[in-house]
Amino acid sequence: MSLSFETSILLSPPELFTLASLLGGKTLIGVPDPFPGWLTEEIQQAMQSARSSLVHKGYLRAEGDELRMDALVAALIGTLIQPQSVLLSTLSRPSAPRQQEGLYHRPPFIVHLSPQQDGYGLCPLAEHDEVSALLRQRWGPEMESAAPAKPFSLPEADLRAMRQALERSQSDAALQTLQRAGADEDAALVFLSTWQTARCNGSLVVMRQRGAWQVGGLGFLEGENGLWRLRSFQSNAQDWVECLPCSAAELWQQVEVLLERYFFE
């Protein structure tokens, strides 16, 4: 079977890890182990079954006592197991499952890995613009305007405490947490309103291998009163989050900066 470059392929978790192992891969960044706590014999049986399924699909073919992998499948899997850069995207919406996807880059290939109902979809992307278009399609904030507030920063632990207070419907406690962290009352009230009317909440983590892995990222929050960009940083060995009202245009500008610095450079 010969696959075209436009082809998307669907793999079960055992099939994905079986193909990766055949190319020497041991872990896949951003992909959970499909065999947690399994006995060695159980894993071997599952992978043998996966190999049979992959032969049936045409992704593997038997040549004597050896298995040969389709060339494009090998290129896709090879990019996953030895990427030059990785982008992990997470998106949460009310009353909907959290979406997690990955993009893996090793010139000349960019591979989009997306969880499906029965496994993972793998699709090659041809160029830079397709990555930007995919992110805009997935995230696409409905609001164009920034939330009407001043930026502020707070320890990450306080942001978690604020969210927990809101989950318990303790708005006053959430407000007090923000004010103790240094946010003025007006900004804190706008920020709380955004969380309480949230339409979506997303994050990007982008990693590039330059000897060691270098990591950048950002988050965003969209509510009925506008958009915020969230930026993590460290101060005095403590994790902090900077909360910046931003327009959709400013958000995408920062996404492009991340892509150029960590994903494509």
CB count in 10 Å sphere of residue 109: 19
Task: Tell the residue number behind the tokens 């962290």, with chain if given.
Answer: 181
Q: What is the pLDDT of residue 246?
A: 95
Q: What is the pLDDT of residue 151?
A: 97
Q: How far apart are CA 265 and CA 258, in angstroms?
A: 10
Task: Tell the residue number behind the tokens 């990785």, with chain if given.
Answer: 86
Does the N-terminal peptide bond of residue 108 adopt cis geometry, omega within 30 degrees of 0? yes
pTM listed for this prediction = 0.90
Q: What is the pLDDT of residue 1?
A: 43
Q: How far apart are CA 47 and CA 19, in angstroms?
A: 9
The pLDDT tens digits of the residues spanning 89-145 come to: 999 998 888 899 999 999 989 999 999 988 999 999 977 889 989 998 888 777 789
Q: How far apart are CA 207 and CA 245, in angstroms?
A: 25
Segments in the chain below pLDDT 50: 1-5
Q: What is the pLDDT of residue 119?
A: 92
Alpha carbon separation from 208 to 90, 213, 220, 246 (Å, rounded) = 18, 5, 21, 26
DSSP element (H, E) containing 137: helix 128-139
